[in-house]
Structure 1
Amino acid sequence: MNGDAWRNRLLSGQWFSSLPAALQDSLIDSARVKRLLPGKALFRRGDPPCGLYAVLEGAIRIGAVSDEGKQTLLSRIQLPYWFGEVSLFDGLPRTHDAFAEGHTILLQVSQPKLEALLEKEPQYWRYFALLMSQKLRLTFVHLEQQSLLSAPARVACRLLLIAEGYGEINHSRQVIELSQEQLALMLSMSRQTTNKILKDLESQGVLEISYGEIRILDLDKLRAAAS
């Protein structure tokens, strides 16, 4: 896969497509491809900053495991999602673990190359701040949903968010490759509660459940359930 192929895939994402052409070129020219086998760690909580990443194929699972062994899952991200920018701003260690889901291909722009680029072109800081602020906005929305929405609405909201690529893609995904257990972890719900809600949505013709994936049948009904 060459630089033009990378660009074409990444242009399907709103953040990258909104960048000035010169910044797009700089990121592509500075990047290298990184391939991960299923279950392989990209980085772990406490690791030093290692740059900015974009998902080209496969998926990355972002989460953590507590000292007591309790697992959390924040998100599961796919093409054309960019991540890793927080450590670019503060230079501090990684806050969570990142693991490959299936065979995964990433584009990596290393921390030194990013810092050199921004030293030369400081006006580009704004675009990385926008990338981070988009995720901060989603975090606030999620916290509000946790407090105010019913469990069924929270499930619908999260499915809608994943289907729309966390706001990165224009056309919603019809198939979400996500197990019920993973969805339950994302929402801090029991698997039993999550399963019941999914079954209810399935009976309403909103979605279809199969092993390891959820197929959206009616996006409008899913939006209505989320509201």
Structure 2
Amino acid sequence: MKSADISLKNAVRAANWAQLLDADQLARVEADTVEAFVPKGGFVCRKGEPAEYWIGVISGMVKMNNFSASGKAMTFIGVPPGSWFGEGSLLKNEIRKYDTMALRDTRVARLPAATFHWLLDTSLPFTRFLLMQLNERLGQFIGMVENDRLLDLNTRVARCLASMFNSHLYPGVDTLVQLSQEEIGLLSGSSRQRANQALQVLEKQGLLRLDYGGIRVLDLDGLRRYEADDAT
């Protein structure tokens, strides 16, 4: 079933953390979780808002970003269908530190904070899942800092694509990454034109193929190891 066609109930049940719950816990999650539609360019949540929900992407794609005082945007990560985010703000009971915007028309699931904390109190497997989630998220952001400060754009695009293949953070990603070249540019900190040039370099290296509807990853390990000096 395509993510665009999946029901809220099935999206919740398909989440890797939901499969760790007992029947009563899952029943409460299903009863409390609500769905929202966010059009392309709209805000899923905004910086400065109280963290009232844990958020899952049912279909579409969202990006986490911030804006400088001068209005310059900096994108942190993209979040594809099947992924959940925002646990850090809930755990610390603080306001959101970033904006989250829809890269395309997007459906999201919202699990209330009260239910999220109830799961922490009643489900050891859920708590273990969150520990892994936070650890993976930390590794992801450390990698982003390294990429931004040390790597050229071609390598940043390669690492950007490779980072989407994290089975814990992004369990629903297939070998066909359904991102446009414009979206790759936003996520790697470049223009669409420059992202296109980088993708063509990576395609010539046999690491990916530009397909209709997205980017087909042919060599994931190669993307993870790619350095610009590898290009011929």
Aligned to 1:20: 21
When structure 1 is superposed on structure 2, of 163-172 and 87-96 the one drifting more is 163-172
2:222 aligned to which of 206, 221, 224: 224
- Quote the residue 2:33 is aligned against: 31
The one-letter amino acid paired with 2:42 is K
SS in 2 for 1:157: helix
1:1-227 map, 5 Å: 1=7, 3=9, 5-10=10-15, 14-17=16-19, 19-22=20-23, 23-119=25-121, 121=122, 123=124, 124-162=126-164, 167-169=169-171, 172-180=174-182, 182-189=183-190, 193-209=194-210, 214-216=214-216, 218-220=217-219, 222-227=220-225
Provide TM-score, normalisation by structure 1. Answer: 0.78
Distance 1:200 1:9 in 2: 36
The aligned amino acid for 1:6 is: A
Deviation at 1:94, TM superposition (A): 0.3
What secondary structure is seen at the aligned counterpart in 2 of 1:47?
Answer: coil
CA–CA distance in structure 2, aligned partners of residues 9 and 80 of structure 1: 8
Q: Which amino acid aligns with 1:219?
A: L
The offset of 1:56, in angstroms, is 1.0
Judge conservation of contact 1:164–1:170 (CA < 8 Å) in 2: no
SS at match of 1:102: coil
Aligned-pair CA distance for 1:112: 2.7
SS of residue matched to 2:141: helix
Q: Deviation digits for residues 64-118 of structure 1, max 9, x if unmatched?
A: 2211010111122121000111111111110111122333211111123323444
Unaligned runs of 5+ in 2: 1-6, 226-232
Change (3 A) 1:223 1:112: same
- Measured against aligned partners, the alpha-carbon deviations of 1:141-193 in whole angstroms (never above 9, x if no partner) come to 2223344444433221211222557753276331332334x433433346554
Give the number of equivalent residue pairs.
217
- What is the distance in 1 between the residues matched to 2:128 and 2:194? 42
Alpha-carbon displacement from aligned partner over 1:21-68 (angstroms, at most 9, x marks no partner): 354444333211222222221211111112101111112221122110
Q: CA RMSD in A?
A: 3.0
2:58 partner SS = strand
- Provide closer, same or farther for how the CA distance between residues 105 and 189 of structure 1 changes in structure 2, counting only shifts above 3 A: closer
Structure 1 residues without counterparts, runs of 5 or longer:
none
Secondary structure at the counterpart of residue 80 of structure 1: coil
Q: How much identity, in percent, do the aligned residues show?
A: 23
Q: What is the CA-CA distance between 1:208 and the residue it aligns to?
A: 4.1
- Cα–Cα, structure 1 residues 194 and 58, in superposed 2: closer, same or farther, change >3 Å? closer
- Mark the CA change 1:132 to 1:226 in structure 2 (over 3 Å): closer, same or farther: closer
Which moves more between the two structures, 153-162 or 91-100? 153-162
Moved more, 149-158 or 59-68: 149-158
Would you say the 8 A contact 2:209–2:218 is kept in 1?
Answer: no
Following superposition, the deviation at residue 15 of structure 1 comes to: 4.4
Distance 1:178 1:102 in 2: 10
Counterpart CA distance in 2 for 1:114 and 1:99 is 22
Give the Cα–Cα distance (whole angstroms) in 1 for the partners of residues 119 and 102 of structure 2.
28
